[in-house]
């Protein structure tokens, strides 16, 4: 099912993100990328989609448009187009948070099936991490995020509806919805 292209993408992603850690932790960032690729494969990804899952944050976090062109040259148009569709911003400094998230959500309304799959897997992996971290650090969790508590909860809830309406895999979005609902319940309980 997976060829040496996938192996090459895994090594490439690991090198690109070698010094990066997950927000608020010492977890190597590659753990997130592998997690997203794993979810994508579980939800039916083909090799190009699995490779895009490994590389979905490369443009945003590791060099912008030149990295996108490198990905296109190494892994092809399908992978590069999916990575581009999953990219929140490719400039530094990034645009203001709320505007950037609104544009990102809006673009998902007409995104390809590959973008919807990889984006949904990315958000599911992130939401699961948020729930787990919230259990450990409580309200301090929100300090990690520019949008804070309210903005982060808004963003994930909006993504659930948008991805569902756009035709992302139902099983994936049902799981994302359950995870976001758990996060919302935890936040409501802690703020009461």
pLDDT tens for the chain, residues 1 to 192: 899 999 999 999 999 999 989 887 889 999 999 999 999 999 999 999 999 999 999 999 898 999 999 999 999 999 999 999 999 988 888 899 999 999 999 999 999 999 999 999 999 999 999 999 999 999 999 999 999 999 999 999 999 999 999 999 999 999 999 999 999 999 998 765
Residue from 90, 86, 89 nearest 112 by CA:
86
Domains and their CATH numbers in the chain = 4-191 (1.10.3210.10)
Task: Report the SS3 class of residue 49.
Answer: helix
> Tokens in use for 33?
């990328």
How many other β-carbons are positioned within 10 Å of the β-carbon of residue 92? 8
Residue from 42, 37, 43 nearest 5 by CA:
37
Question: Is position 61 annotated as part of the catalytic site?
Answer: yes
> What CA–CA distance (Å, rounded) separates 33 from 136?
22
Question: Is position 69 annotated as part of the catalytic site?
Answer: no
Q: Are the C-beta atoms of 182 and 129 separated by less than 8 Å?
A: no
- The model carries a pTM of 0.95
Catalytic residue among 8, 46, 47, 61: 61
* Helix residue spans in the chain (DSSP H): 4-16, 30-42, 47-55, 58-62, 65-75, 77-86, 97-108, 113-137, 148-166, 170-191
> What CA–CA distance (Å, rounded) separates 95 from 91?
8
Catalytic residue among 60, 70, 81, 122: 60
Residue from 147, 132, 138 nearest 191 by CA:
138
> What CA–CA distance (Å, rounded) separates 159 from 152?
11
Q: Are the C-beta atoms of 35 and 86 separated by less than 8 Å?
A: no
Residue from 108, 119, 126 nearest 49 by CA:
119
pLDDT at residue 13, rounded to an integer? 97
Write the DSSP symbol of residue 93.
S
């Amino acid at each position: 099912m997976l060829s040496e292209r996938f192996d090459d993408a895994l090594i490439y992603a690991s090198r690109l993100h070698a010094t990066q850690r997950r927000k608020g932790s010492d977890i190597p960032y590659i753990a997130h990328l592998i997690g997203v690729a794993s979810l994508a494969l579980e939800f039916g990804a083909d090799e190009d989609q699995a490779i895009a899952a490994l590389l979905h944050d490369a443009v945003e976090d590791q060099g912008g448009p030149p990295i996108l062109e490198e990905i296109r040259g190494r892994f092809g148009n399908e992978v590069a187009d999916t990575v581009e569709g999953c990219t929140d911003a490719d400039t530094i400094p990034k645009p203001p948070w709320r505007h950037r998230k609104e544009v990102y959500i809006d673009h998902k309304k007409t995104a390809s099936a590959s973008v919807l799959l990889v984006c949904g897997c990315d958000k599911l992996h992130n939401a699961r991490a948020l729930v787990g971290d919230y259990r450990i650090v409580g309200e301090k969790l929100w300090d990690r995020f520019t949008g804070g508590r309210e903005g982060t909860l808004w963003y994930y809830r909006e993504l659930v509806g948008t991805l569902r309406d756009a035709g992302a895999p139902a099983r994936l979005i049902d799981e994302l919805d359950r995870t976001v609902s758990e996060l919302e319940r935890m936040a409501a309980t802690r703020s009461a």
